[in-house]
Amino acid sequence: MADKPVYEPADPPAAGESSAAAGDATAVSDTPDASEALATLKRERDDIYDRLLRKSAEFDNYRRRVDRERREQADEAVVDLLRELLQVVDDFDLALAAESAENVSAYKKGIELIHAKLHDVLGKYGVRPIEALGADFDPNLHQAVIHEASADHREGQVIGELRRGYQIGDRLLRPSMVKVAKA
């Protein structure tokens, strides 16, 4: 690659102007010191560009690694939850296989224990039920499916829960399906 002069005059020197003044700039770029300085600047530029490319590649690799680790953590959390839920499914399988005609109260007690175990698993992961009965209707937490006139309850009070709603932290997983009192 041929070295270009650092300065090239745009116009030839005017009449009466010394050509030495115009030639001084060109002469400076042709000196060995200027060539060395130009070569040094090019090396520095190439070095900085190389470092930029390396840092950019390192950052891309870091971003990919963090994304992969985040996905792996999410997958592991799902696997942990499913393992715990499979224990509850096993308990249901045992309850369904049991003879229930003889002792209905023991069968019911077993189902209640499984239900409690399932709620314990949900609670471990931060899932909690929405307490709807007796509360004021909140469209952010409740889905009104029935409006019923009631003299015993105030307007907008939840008087029945058809399906329980759940939250995880402050995030709504599912709204409660409720019956709401009206005047």
Determine what percent of the chain is predicted with pLDDT higher than 90.
55
pLDDT (0 to 100) of residue 91 = 87
Map residue 157 onto helix, strand or coil. Answer: strand
The residue segments making up the domain with residue 34 are: 18-125
Please say which residue of 88, 106, 125 terminates a domain.
125
Residue 145 has pLDDT above 60, yes or no: yes
Same domain, 67 and 140: no
pLDDT (0 to 100) of residue 36 = 93
Confidence of residue 4 (pLDDT cuts 50, 70, 90): low
Radius of gyration from C-alpha coordinates of the chain: 39
Q: Is residue 174 part of a domain?
A: yes
CB under 8 Å to 84, separation ≥6 — which residues? 121, 124
Q: Is residue 10 part of a domain?
A: no
DSSP bridge pairs for 174: 166
Query: Of the given ranges (20-24, 54-58, 138-142), which has the lowest mean pLDDT?
Result: 20-24
pLDDT (0 to 100) of residue 110 = 85
Same domain, 100 and 182: no
Same domain, 26 and 93: yes
Confidence of residue 37 (pLDDT cuts 50, 70, 90): very high
pLDDT (0 to 100) of residue 13 = 52
Same domain, 62 and 84: yes
Once rounded to an integer, what is the mean pLDDT over residues 147-170?
A: 92
Report the CATH number that the domain containing residue 101 is assigned in CATH: 3.90.20
Q: Is residue 164 part of a domain?
A: yes
CA distance 60 to 183: 62
Same domain, 23 and 113: yes
Same domain, 99 and 47: yes
pLDDT (0 to 100) of residue 77 = 87
pLDDT (0 to 100) of residue 109 = 86
Please say which residue of 125, 143, 172 terminates a domain.
125
Please say which residue of 75, 104, 125 terminates a domain.
125
Residue 11 has pLDDT above 80, yes or no: no
Same domain, 119 and 143: no
Dump strand ranges (E) for the chain. Answer: 127-129, 142-149, 158-163, 166-168, 171-174, 176-182
Count of structural domains, the chain = 2
Using the structure block, give the residue that is written with the tokens 């829960």: 161
Q: Both tokens of residue 55?
A: 């840092």
Residue 54 has pLDDT above 60, yes or no: yes
User: pLDDT of 73-105, one tens digit each?
Assistant: 999 988 988 888 888 888 888 887 777 667 788
